[in-house]
């Protein structure tokens, strides 16, 4: 069992969620907006998985909206114990990225602030697993903190990361993150949250230029932010 995501972790990082199951964090509100704008939101019988559900406040909101087929998967036994006492959810505790769900069975998969906790090999494997369990016409909605070139060069030598989360294994950058997701999924849309400059198109174009020059890409040339992505599994060619 991985003890990093214990009671101390949640009390330090997500105090408000421990105390109040009815609230959503900013990026969760954006994920919910993406979902409600999709055709899936009109069907209450869809099967929903949240990989890395944490304290499951997001799934709780979906249950209140009458989506009953919800599954939460997380590594933290502390979190799962907390939500078992709060909600009537199907819960799965895993210590790795193997998802114990049959192939092509999930309509909508949510992944929120998970990829940065994984090494690059684990990240790639998880994308394969999500692709495997999703129905061909399914929907992936994910949210991730992304960092800037400037913050990486000037701040990271002194701090683990801008959010102070000691459990992160990698720094995510917008352009390279989108490239990795595109290897298994077709992007529907994405948007930035907490954008300090308020110029997402410009900063994304800059990120592509930096990538071409061989310099790691950026989300925002000054600060860090959050990216929300919706995508669907790529259709496999058949003979």
**Global pTM?**
0.78
Residue 190 sits in a domain of what CATH number?
3.40.50.150
pLDDT value for 191: 86
- pLDDT value for 8: 73
Flag whether 35 is in a domain: yes
pLDDT of 125-178, one tens digit each? 999 999 999 999 999 999 988 866 555 554 444 444 444 556 777 778 777 888
Q: Domain for residue 238, yes or no?
A: no
Where does the pLDDT of residue 117 fall: very low under 50, low under 70, confident under 90, or very high at 90 and above?
A: confident
Does the residue 204 lie in any domain? yes
91 falls within a domain = yes
164 assigned to some structural domain: yes
| 21 falls within a domain | yes
Average pLDDT of the segment spanning 193-221: 48
Sign for the pseudo-dihedral over CA of 75, 182, 125, 43: positive
| pLDDT higher than 90, residue 105 | yes
pLDDT recorded at residue 106 = 97
Does 239 reside within a domain? no
Query: Which domain, by its residues, includes 44?
Result: 3-233
Q: How many domains does the chain have?
A: 1
Is the model's pLDDT at 10 over the cut of 60? Answer: yes
């Amino acid at each position: 069992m991985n003890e990093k995501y214990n009671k101390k972790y949640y009390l330090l990082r997500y105090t408000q969620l421990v105390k109040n199951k009815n609230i959503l964090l900013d990026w969760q509100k954006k994920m919910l907006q993406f979902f409600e704008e999709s055709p899936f939101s009109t069907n209450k019988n869809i099967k929903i998985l949240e990989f890395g559900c944490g304290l499951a406040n997001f799934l709780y909101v979906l249950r209140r909206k009458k989506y009953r087929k919800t599954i939460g998967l997380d590594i933290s036994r502390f979190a799962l114990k907390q939500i078992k006492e709060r909600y009537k959810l199907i819960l799965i505790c895993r210590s790795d990225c193997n998802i114990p769900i049959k192939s092509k069975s999930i309509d909508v998969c949510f992944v929120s602030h998970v990829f940065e906790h994984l090494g690059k090999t684990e990240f790639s494997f998880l994308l394969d697993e999500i692709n495997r369990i999703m129905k061909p016409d399914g929907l992936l909605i994910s949210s991730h903190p992304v960092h800037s070139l400037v913050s990486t060069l000037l701040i990271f030598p002194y701090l683990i990361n801008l959010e102070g989360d000691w459990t992160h294994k990698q720094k995510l950058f917008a352009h390279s993150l989108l490239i990795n997701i595109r290897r298994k999924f077709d992007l529907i849309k994405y948007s930035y949250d907490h954008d300090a400059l308020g110029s997402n198109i410009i900063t994304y174009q800059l990120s592509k230029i930096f990538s071409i020059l061989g310099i790691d890409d950026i989300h925002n040339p000054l600060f860090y932010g959050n990216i929300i992505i919706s995508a669907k599994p790529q259709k496999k060619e058949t003979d």
